[in-house]
Amino acid sequence: MTWKEVGNTVRQYAPKLGKLLTNPVGGAIDIGASIISDALGTQKEPDAVMLAIESDPNAAVKLKQTEVEKRAEISRALIESETEALRIVNKTIGRELDVAKSGTDFSKFWASFWRPFWGVVSALAFIFQVGGNVWLVSDVIGLIHKGEIADATQVLTALGTINTTLMPLWAVPGAILGVTAWHRGQMQRAEAGEQKGPGIFGALAQRVTGK
């Protein structure tokens, strides 16, 4: 049993609380495990927590109540985890830029090529997912018209569950695409000779100090 498996179960009752256990970046898992084990009165071990969820008839209520009571701590942990994930992405991009400036011909090529490659792959995956949804729904509608199935509720519910499960997977490629696009724009402006400004907070500081 892993914390991720426990998190997927917890998310059925307390989505944000369960998300902590499925986020491997930063200290989200440790924070989530502490909150959940305290709420259920059990050891901070995946097997013990899962056993408590399965054996305690009030586990769902306890988890929902804990998510409300600890919402500030949970939100802070999620934000810190997402910030750390972006920091890792920024660090990776920085290394790629260094390679692009000083590496071999192949490394320079790949440092420039992997961004559009990632974008194309993400776009194809998105098209595949949307196309699969459209195909399945149209197929179900056709079967209903033919009278081969009377109720499509279970099929459509399962489709919704699958899409909900896949949604978090788009957070990673979405973040990478956004950050890489921003860094690429920064790099192109720097190569064109544009001087970097002080930024929003820097401009505010200049207004306040008059410098």
Distance CA(72)–CA(93), nearest Å, equals 32
pLDDT 10s digits, 140-154? 778 777 777 767 777
pTM: 0.46
What's the confidence (pLDDT) of residue 186?
62
Query: In this model, does residue 209 exceed pLDDT 50?
Result: no
Among 19-28, 84-93, 106-115, whose mean pLDDT is lowest?
A: 106-115
- Strand blocks (E) in the chain: none
Query: In this model, does residue 85 exceed pLDDT 80?
Result: no
In Å, how far from its chain's centre is CA 202?
Answer: 30
H-run or E-run covering 195? none
pLDDT 10s digits, 174-194? 777 677 666 666 655 655 655
